[in-house]
Amino acid sequence: DTEVTQTPKHLVMGMTNKKSLKCEQHMGHRAMYWYKQKAKKPPELMFVYSYEKLSINESVPSRFSPECPNSSLLNLHLHALQPEDSALYLCASSQDNNWEGTEAFFGQGTRLTVV
């Protein structure tokens, strides 16, 4: 199994809603990442989890709250989002945070629309 699975694939939410994005991998990877990608732009790093601990937060607003319940799962909790937060949210994983000599895998993403 060399997949990173993200659910849901599409999500439409209102600005007062609370929702969660989920990411799962069963490759034994110990580093997981959230990226945000706007249309026709490259993915931008949001958070890095290494061995289930948050190691990097790229100055992301607190309305995005990551959670890593175990080594296979990564969640992104969303609350009080703005329309400009609409984007493709990508999860990725790698064997560890060093990456070298190992492959990294991205999920298909969740396309989020905030209305």
Partner 1 sequence: DQQVKQNSPSLSVQEGRISILNCDYTNSMFDYFLWYKKYPAEGPTFLISISSIKDKNEDGRFTVFLNKSAKHLSLHIVPSQPGDSAVYFCAASEVAGNTPLVFGKGTRLSVIA
User: Which residue's CB is nearer to partner 1, number 27 or number 80?
Assistant: 27
Is residue 37 within 8 A of residue 90, CB to CB? The reply is yes
Integer angstrom CA distances of residue 39 from 4, 22, 73, 112 = 21, 21, 26, 12
In the complex, the smallest distance separating the C-beta of residue 9 from partner 1, rounded to whole angstroms, is 11
User: Which residue's CB is nearer to partner 1, number 17 or number 75?
Assistant: 75
In the complex, the smallest distance separating the C-beta of residue 94 from partner 1, rounded to whole angstroms, is 9
User: Which residue's CB is nearer to partner 1, number 80 or number 106?
Assistant: 106
- What is the spatial distance between Cα 41 and Cα 85, in angstroms, rounded to a whole number? 14
Closest C-alpha among 20, 23, 28, 29 to residue 6: 23
In the complex, the smallest distance separating the C-beta of residue 88 from partner 1, rounded to whole angstroms, is 6
In the complex, the smallest distance separating the C-beta of residue 58 from partner 1, rounded to whole angstroms, is 8
Q: Phi and psi of 85, rounded to 5°?
A: -80, -5
Residues near partner 1 (CB under 8 A): 33, 37-45, 48, 50, 55-56, 58, 88, 90, 92, 97-109
